Amino acid sequence: MPTHDPRDPDLATFWRERHLCTLTTLRADGTPHVVPVGVTYDPDTLTARVITGGGSAKVRHVERLDGAATVAVCQVDGGRWSTIEGRARIARDPDEVAEAVRRYAERYRQPRENPERVAIVIDVTRVLGSARLTPLPPT
């Protein structure tokens, strides 16, 4: 399984394309909880972000481990794929949440208002992916 340089420009470009992603967290019994999400990735700070409601299962899974939660986000486009792994924390600070919303709106669309919104901030530890991350030219 190829490991990618987290600052690779092709990787950053792939993570700017509009793709639905998944987030995997671990339940208390150690089984994976996989849900669809939108993810943004910042290769400069080596962080990924997910916005969500503060009472969601994914937030509870991360908070239960109090800063030691290892998570993975993944996106797939045909034969191209990438998984970002890292340590997650929940950001409730309004400025941090606003930054996550701004990035989400840039990649996807402006999300609906949600007064309970938080951000899952992932400090990247490893990036895996297909050997080719750039799209093939149209035929």
Tens of pLDDT, residue by residue over 101-124, are 999 999 999 999 999 999 999 999
- Over 90: is that where the pLDDT of 4 sits? no
Tens of pLDDT, residue by residue over 62-79, are 999 987 899 999 999 999
> Under 8 Å CB-to-CB from 82, ≥6 apart: which residues?
4, 11, 14, 15, 74, 75, 127, 128, 129, 130, 133
Which domains, ranges and CATH numbers included, belong to the chain?
Answer: 9-129 (2.30.110.10)
H/E segment holding residue 59: helix 57-64
CA 16 to chain centre: 12
Tens of pLDDT, residue by residue over 27-55, are 999 999 999 999 999 999 999 999 999 99
Looking at every residue in the chain, the average pLDDT score rounds to 94
What's the predicted TM-score (pTM) here?
0.94
